[in-house]
Amino acid sequence: MAAPAFVAKLNEQLGYEFGAHQTYLAIATYYDSLTMPQLAGMFYSQAMEERGHAMMMIQYLLDNDEVPHIPALGAPRSDYSDVVAPIEAALEQELLVTQQVNELTRVAREAADFASDQFMQWFIREQVEETAKMKDLLAVVTRSQHDYERIEDWVSREAARAPSDPTAPPMAGA
């Protein structure tokens, strides 16, 4: 059974994960409107990945006989001044999620909730990858912000290298 403090924080995290899903969906549509299909596709995929994280958390709660609480969300930002701004927002999002994941891990450890601590280890590793990915993307887009084709070429090459992770926790409904 998961510690009550961890359950409360994980339910809170559901809102952040679904919020990230919507943020990345809005970013994807922004790039789609600029006819940047590679960058749009990357963020559509990123949106689905964030939704998947929330679904993993829902499954974990269900597996621990807890009822997940899905919060209402406000509309994400969808207007940006240039091609760099959405990626800056995405990096900020990933840095915030890293802090939240670390806090969830701390709560699990303080409660001696070893199963929840173990569950969070995958998310810690995932955040290292996500933050590095956004930092790299920000560097490329900042450097090439006036050359959409160069950005699209880089994203196309990088997207082809994205591996799947068989160690990921199961998702609810999958």
pLDDT tens column, 109-167: 999 999 999 999 999 999 999 999 999 999 999 999 999 999 999 999 987 666 677 78
Give the pair of three-digit tokens for residue 79: 């207007």
pLDDT of residue 39: 97
Q: What is the mean predicted confidence (pLDDT) over 37-52?
A: 96
Give the right CATH number for 4-159 from 2.60.40.10, 1.20.1260.10, 1.10.645.10, 1.10.10.410: 1.20.1260.10
Question: How high is the pLDDT of residue 163?
Answer: 67
Query: Two tokens at 43?
Result: 């963020």
- d(CA 6, CA 38) in angstroms, rounded, equals 38
| Cα–Cα distances in angstroms (integers) from residue 1 to residues 5, 9, 11, 92, 161, in the given order | 12, 15, 15, 33, 38
Tokens 């929840």 belong to 116
Residue 156: other Cβ atoms inside 10 A: 14
Q: Report pLDDT for 165.
A: 79
Percent of the chain with pLDDT over 70: 97
Whole-prediction pTM value?
Answer: 0.92
C-beta of residue 36 within 8 angstroms of C-beta of residue 153: no
Among the ranges given (57-66, 70-79, 81-90), the one the predictor scored with the smallest mean pLDDT:
70-79
